[in-house]
Each structure stands twice: as C-alpha cells, then as structure tokens.
Amino acid sequence: MLSDNLIQKLFDTQDHGRMIGCLADNGTAMPLALQARLTQPTAASGLGLRRLVELTYGPTPLSRDMTAALLDGQLPDGSFQGTCDRDPLATATAVAGLTAVLRDHPLAGRDAGLIDALDRALASLEAMQMEDGLFCHGDDRTIEDRALTSAFVLFLLARLPEFREATRFADLMTWFDERADRLDNDTLELYHMASLDDPSRHPANALFEAVAA
C-alpha cells in the first residue's frame, strides 16, 4: 500500500520511477505504454500529491512541499515540463494534484497561489488540443498514441468542471464516442472510466459535485 510515509520517502529521494510504479500498483489506471512518460518529476509529484490528499485530513508539511515543488515547475505558458515541451501528460497530472489540494486543503492551496496556477494550467491544456480535440505528447507517433494520451488526460480530469469548461471537452468526448469500437483495450478502459465521471452522462455525478461544493 502506498502510505503517506512511503510517499514522503519517495518524494525526498526523488525516486520518480518507484513513485509511479507504486501508484500503478495501488490502483491508479496507468497503462505500461504511458508509465515511462510519467516517470518524471511533475507526474510523480502530481499523482503522488493527489494520493497523499486522499490519505490525510488536512495540510501537512509534505503536502505543502509537494505543492510548492509543482508550482515552482510551472512554465510561463502555464504548462508543466515533462518528457517533452508543452507536455499534456505532465500538465494534467499537475492539475490533478493541485486540484486535490484546492478542494480538500483549501487554505494551503490559496496560500500557494493555487487558483491562478490552475487557471493557467487549464488554459495551457486547451492550447495543446489539436483540431480534432485530442492532445498530443511529443513522443506520440500515431493516432493510437494520441488517443491513449488523451484518454489518460480524460481519466484524470473529466470529473473536474474547471477542466470541462476550460477545454474543448465536447470535441474530445465526441472523438472517442465516434471511435469507441476501434480503440485498443488500454485506451478504451481509460475512456470508459472517464465517461463515468462525466456528469452530463451520469446525472448522479452532477449531484455529487453540487454537494461537494
């Protein structure tokens, strides 16, 4: 189990590969084809921070340190550095972690200037969308690669109203809807999980969000 103590150790030693591996073992849907691209500081910190917030009841020294590390790595255009410039995977993982802090540890988030950082990160994600609505990682060679990248971004962020409002969310979902019968298994699984988090398709999620707010 990925405990807060283990997250602390992996963050302190910058063991990004083991952090990603432990998160995958702990239940984060993470196809092997993406794990190498996620073995880098931003993704390890963003996904690790999201898990840490799930394990704790309020701001901790570690959550503050991980939040600060993410914010320090934000680029002028609002994106986050990953294994390529303008990396949608790195940016989405940072958004996932920072949003978790804002929602569950709001005082820590506001002290760190989180709201502005999130707005800029979400704007950068919209700027990374191609004409068809998909995102593209620098290592993507085929449409199947782009679909997997985009499905993982959706898996992380589809539930967030901020993401749906800031990006061309409808175009993205339409692309997958029209090709669902042709997706590979990893992409299809991520897309199905993202669809379950889309309140426009599952009204109960909209009620959940309203209560949480």
How many angstroms separate the CA atoms of 49 and 44, rounded? 8
Give the pLDDT band (50/70/90) at residue 57: confident
The better pLDDT of the pair 51, 105 is held by 51
Q: Is the dihedral of CA 89, 92, 77, 13 positive or negative?
A: negative
Lowest mean pLDDT: which of 4-13, 46-55, 99-108?
Answer: 99-108
Model pLDDT, residue 211:
36
Model pLDDT, residue 106:
65
Asked if the model's pLDDT at residue 207 lies above 50, the reply is: no
Asked if the model's pLDDT at residue 201 lies above 80, the reply is: no
Model pLDDT, residue 206:
43
- 113-144 pLDDT, tens digit per residue, is 788 999 999 999 999 999 999 999 988 889 99
* Contact criterion met (CB below 8 Å) for 98 and 73: no
Ramachandran area for residue 113 (φ above 0: left; ψ -120 to 50: alpha; else beta): left
Model pLDDT, residue 167:
97
Tokens coding 82 = 């990953």
Give the pLDDT band (50/70/90) at residue 212: very low
Model pLDDT, residue 111:
59
Of the candidates 19, 21, 58, 13, the one whose C-alpha atom is nearest the C-alpha of residue 42 is 19
Asked if the model's pLDDT at residue 204 lies above 60, the reply is: no
Model pLDDT, residue 86:
87
Tokens coding 141 = 């060679």
- 82-121 pLDDT, tens digit per residue, is 988 889 999 999 999 999 998 887 665 555 578 899 999 9
pLDDT above 70 as % of the chain? 90
Lowest mean pLDDT: which of 26-30, 92-96, 102-106, 162-166?
Answer: 102-106
Asked if the model's pLDDT at residue 35 lies above 90, the reply is: yes
